[in-house]
Chains A and B, each alone.
Chain A
């Protein structure tokens, strides 16, 4: 408005002037025209610049944005966070992070001056102080890439390797253009110890935990990267602003590294002893062992063989001796992984394609104790008996008659005593101590399918235990529903065939049977602390449910004790699990695998110690031992015996039983072996002493005649030279020298006509 008014006023002025002086008016008008022109020119140029701006953004926007990002990457460095440690119950470090350095070459800095005043001294310093780097290769690279600012010459070099160069750099101002980028490397100081429990991190970096605790607690172990903004100041030196990294939390596991080491030692020993006996390859396809605190559910040890070194988890040497796994796609379009009969040797490794190598490696990384499912066999018997007692189907006073088999649903299901004509009269206690299938089937019939399946659920079979480890198998489809169960299914289920479990399910359920019925959630971690040691989280033992009453639990303790200790009588199956000087309870298991009838077995022993005041539960599974006859529970009981002989004294649990002379001698030898082992580090000495143990065992029975009723008829039969078993001259069967059990007894319990659980053929866990 004001402008218009001004304009009209000016026009009036102009008109007045126009009348008075024509000449001056024209001069003034020209000047004003030129002023208009100048303003117009300014406006046009300003407009052109605005258009130029739009052009720049439009044409080069993304290109320039990228350049800025690159500049940033060069100007700011990431300060890596430190992944939290994993420590055991005593504070021993199981997994930690080590600072390492990447050697970065900045060619443009080295070549700042044409006279090479930086270049030559720097190359010389590299040659003299960094022997792991090829100075000539770096010289060549720099001359070929003059403007390269970021060339990684070496990765993950330790501080000791670069310290000399740093000194040289500090002494000589002309050493320029080499700098070091910090990084953390995941390190497992104990090598393969507890490898499948710990897992590893991808490429041993600080993030992406895979398998085990590393994966399950990844979000706690992982921290946040910091950032360092660097810039060049006027004097060409680098100044920095720093945002500190936030380190990951430390995970305190309940694992005791000493117990874990003892367990792993004996698993390895078993493997070494049985390697290449009946076939090429490892001592068994899998050997697993869990030791759990009966009263808290805390895992004290969880081990398996074969294992691997998480520091070098891609090393295929760990696969040697395992069975080759093949994958193929079935008709339904699913990829099926199948274990072949080919043991992996160096030759096999050389020829198999990389994808197959990866399949085999990832199988190796799996935690057998939680990821693999299998039929438990007779170790399921205490669960069946506990369920029957708890629901009132039996009182515990029953006496069953075993004729060696039972007709169920038109199928003849045998006991392992079938050949010798059955166990005869069997009490409930004997049914467990002697592992009588017929008695168990009768107990199962007394309960009925509904109650049996209810209790399967109560004991958490078919459900995850939710242990704090990555990779627990799902077993929901691997057990029966009462609706689908035919009588023969119930019968075979009572003694642990035709349904699949994981080791962690079994031992956690067993702890509940023993501790008075309290089902604790199994767990590996009881505390999480931050990098300064302050506690972030305490994880207390959690009772999920009471599965049986205290009185039932007391009976189960009594029955399982009878399986191992003298009160079980001569036919007890678990005697070989007893460590010298201790009373323990437990149950053996010998389960035939699928397909039936090919002589492949999973043998196991599940026990608790000490018998009068249970502290720990132990469970050992030997999956398809490398032996002519796989169905020998001594494979498992032998490991249990060895482990407990060392672990119980370590835990400060005193001996309660009298030692025989032979046992004293045995312990002394073992002590000597241990001393030797720690003295000169030769593991061979311990394994040779172990062989002695077995011989000693034989001597005990033969020589001393410890008890008269175990010197029966089979002891006079000839000994098979390859297996050491007695051979029945009439039937040609192998007979266990200690128990008199036919070694292939269980193979006859599961005749091929007995229906099998169709879901078990390719269980998801395998």
Chain B
């Protein structure tokens, strides 16, 4: 059955009209694809030296990342057509989601892969992934469902306490079992932000915010004047080196100071794509947590600020979708995803610029890593699904 050219033309026209008038957020899609493509190029550039050195092919990391990105996009497109209400269909569901988020990190004990002195990966058959990444998306779903369920009760001290009581154990498990403080912190921050937005109360949060600032200042002041010896915990050591960059170059501060060197070396317009020197030996795993430093070195302030603007736009588009939705669960999910991306991007860039103590956070959609890429793209799939649902409801 051959289609005539006229029919094809008509079909194309129809499809285009259908798509453009559907209200589908193409801005968001293009921003996302741009960051993904940019990330792939930077992974290639940052990793090629290590890839040749350790894996005998300069595109080793690039090909793998490309595969994961494509797989993630497939999941994303699939999730657009799965009604988000399915995630919040019956009461018991949220408890199953929560239970999985809580139990998953424990699976690293029997099925874990050790790497960098920490067991953060689970290998199940051919698939290996970071349970912390899965817990992030599951906790967003759980918190959205829980907060949508309790509605305005969140304004009471009791429910605020109960909500936090759900968050803390999961964060604690991730920190204690997989020794991954940064993921624990990220989950905690996402959930706290979701609770904050969900409630209509303000005074409590001003109080908490003030308290947090005071505690942080005290910790900083104590560590700043601390006498660092070898048996100090490495977390405190990291705070110390953050406050005194360059003092302990060969231990904890090495990574941070090398990232700063990379930024300084890049200058305003950078050394040119592929021209980073620091990625060769000074920056450990340049394609991973420290990829932002490589971007700064190769593309300069110009490239780095361009990426920051792209993140800003991405957050703004997710924010718009959140605002449009009337479904409280969907609203909270979109908020959670926005917070997830925002918090992670900010933490990563803050570490690279020595604006906060060093902790391993990947740069969303850019850093090398399968779990992070796939689950973040799945989150984006849910956001697109919310966008699609909003449009359908608006049309009615």
Contacts and interface: CB of A to CB of B under 8 A. Distances in A.
Contact of B339 (A27, A38, A54, A241): A38
B312 interface: yes
B264 A53 contact: no
Interface stretch (B3-11, B171-179, B191-199, B375-383): B191-199
B349 interface: yes
A61 B196 contact: no
B265 interface: yes
Given A49-B355, A239-B53, A57 B323 contact: no
A35 interface: yes
Contacts of B277: 68, 71-72
> Interface size for chain A: under 10, 10 to 19, 20 to 34, or 35 or more residues?
35 or more
B396 to A, nearest CB: 12
A64 B305 contact: no
Contacts of B311: 46
Q: SS class of chain A's interface: helix, strand, loop or mixed?
A: helix
B278 A57 contact: no
Given A10-B324, A46-B346, A53 B263 contact: yes
A30 B200 contact: yes
A34 B196 contact: yes
Contact of B353 (A35, A47, A56): A56
A628 interface: no
Interface string B309-340: 00110011001101110100001000100110
Interface string A283-297: 000000000000000
A49 B261 contact: no
A6 interface: yes
> Interface size for chain B: under 10, 10 to 19, 20 to 34, or 35 or more residues?
35 or more
A46 B280 CA distance: 28
B342 interface: yes
A46 B261 contact: no
B282 A71 contact: yes
Given A6-B320, A239-B53, A53 B197 contact: no
Contact of A13 (B268, B281, B282, B326): B326
A76 to B, nearest CB: 9
Contact of A43 (B197, B250, B268, B312): B312
B107 interface: no
Contacts of B316: 39, 43
B385 interface: no
Given A6-B324, A39-B316, A61-B267, A68 B197 contact: no
B264 A229 contact: no
A480 B305 CA distance: 75
A39 B315 contact: yes
A49 B308 contact: yes
A331 interface: no
A47 B282 CA distance: 28
B357 interface: no
Interface string B287-314: 0000000001000110011001001100
B172 to A, nearest CB: 25
B152 interface: yes
A68 B304 contact: no
A75 interface: yes
B386 interface: no
A232 interface: yes
Most buried by B among A48, A52, A56, A108: A56
A64 B265 contact: yes
B394 interface: yes
Contacts of A75: 280-282
Nearest to A26: B200
A2 interface: yes
A6 B317 CA distance: 12
A71 B335 contact: no
Contact of B260 (A13, A34, A60, A72): A60
B73 interface: no
Contacts of B260: 56, 60, 64
Contacts of B350: 45, 49
B301 A34 contact: no
B265 A53 contact: no
A54 B200 CA distance: 38
Contact of A42 (B278, B304, B346): B346
B116 to A, nearest CB: 10
A3 interface: yes
Contacts of A72: 277
Given A32-B323, A49-B350, A49-B355, A38 B265 contact: no
A337 interface: no
A230 B280 CA distance: 9
A56 B152 CA distance: 45
Contacts of A9: 394
B266 interface: yes
Interface string A191-231: 00000000000000000000000000000000000000111
Task: List the 7 shortest-distance A-B pairs measured between CB atoms, nearest first.
Answer: A64-B264, A231-B281, A42-B342, A30-B200, A68-B265, A64-B261, A34-B197
15 contacts: A9-B394, A30-B200, A35-B197, A35-B319, A39-B316, A52-B355, A53-B305, A53-B353, A54-B301, A56-B263, A64-B260, A64-B263, A71-B281, A229-B280, A230-B281
Given A35-B319, A39-B342, A49-B346, 10 more contacts: A10-B323, A10-B324, A30-B200, A35-B322, A39-B319, A45-B350, A65-B264, A65-B265, A68-B282, A230-B281
